[in-house]
Amino acid sequence: MSKKQSHKPGVELGSALIQLERLARLLRQASQTQGLNPAQWEALRYVSRANFLSNTPGALARYLGATKGTTSQTVLALIKKGLVVKTTRSADARSVILTLSEAGQMALRDDPLRGIEKSLAALKPKTALRFGKGLTIILGDETERQNEPLFGVCTTCAHAALKHGLTHCKAEAVSIPEDETHKLCFHFKMKK
């Protein structure tokens, strides 16, 4: 009997789910450092990765899966610690944007997730590719099940189109600067 046949159906998947849950808990535990809690680290990472269409408190709340009030408290704590700057868009004084301060950028250099980043980088290319594809499918299914935005980048977004050599967002009817096309966007929709 082959190794595959000796296991009951679903055992490997159950084990993978348990391992994924354990990994998530370890990552949250590691994010209790430098005077920040896990939500604050997640917010810092998001602000550093969000494009100009998605660097708002509302998009951050959706990304974190948190209420606007909870997110507001997280942002306020990061502002008080000098890690995030809150400003208004020049075109609309009611629209708030979040950016990292220099101190916020420096804090991310010591991001507690650097260890897992090294582990991912050490995977064999084929394993890394399969792992990435699997996570993409699982995340897509779960965001759809929960009716939450997927978040993603222009290079794989159905809303992105090239116009006159520039990336154009059909969802927002704006051109996306080249340095923003690899950042997270709230309006992301997976290409089919």
CA distance 53 to 6: 51
The pLDDT value given to residue 103: 97
pLDDT exceeds 70 at position 11? no
Tokens for 31, please give them: 């994010």
Q: Mean pLDDT across the stretch 15-41?
A: 92
Residue 15 reports pLDDT greater than 90: no
Q: Has residue 13 got a pLDDT over 70? A: no
Q: What's the pLDDT score for residue 9?
A: 54
Residue 138: what pLDDT? 92
Sole residue written with tokens 């080249």 = 178
Query: What is the band of 176 on the pLDDT scale with cuts at 50, 70, 90?
Result: very high
CA nearest to 98, candidates 76, 113, 69, 65:
76
- What's the rounded Cα separation, in Å, for the pair 48 and 171? 22
The total number of residues shown for the chain amounts to: 192
Average pLDDT, the chain: 90
CA distance readout (Å), 55 to 2, 47, 135, 186, 187: 51, 6, 24, 9, 12
Residue 2: pLDDT over 60 = no
| Predicted local confidence at residue 90, as pLDDT | 76
> What does the pLDDT read at residue 180?
94
What are the tens digits of pLDDT across the range 59-118? 999 999 999 999 999 999 999 999 999 999 877 777 899 999 999 999 999 999 998 999
The predicted structure's pLDDT at residue 3:
46
- The two tokens of residue 81 are 């610690």
pLDDT at 16: 85
For the segment 155-166, the average pLDDT, to the nearest whole number, is 90
Domains along the sequence of the chain with CATH: 14-114 (1.10.10.10), 123-192 (no CATH)
Query: Bridge-partner residues for 135, per DSSP?
Result: none
Residues 6+ apart with CB under 8 A from 37: 31
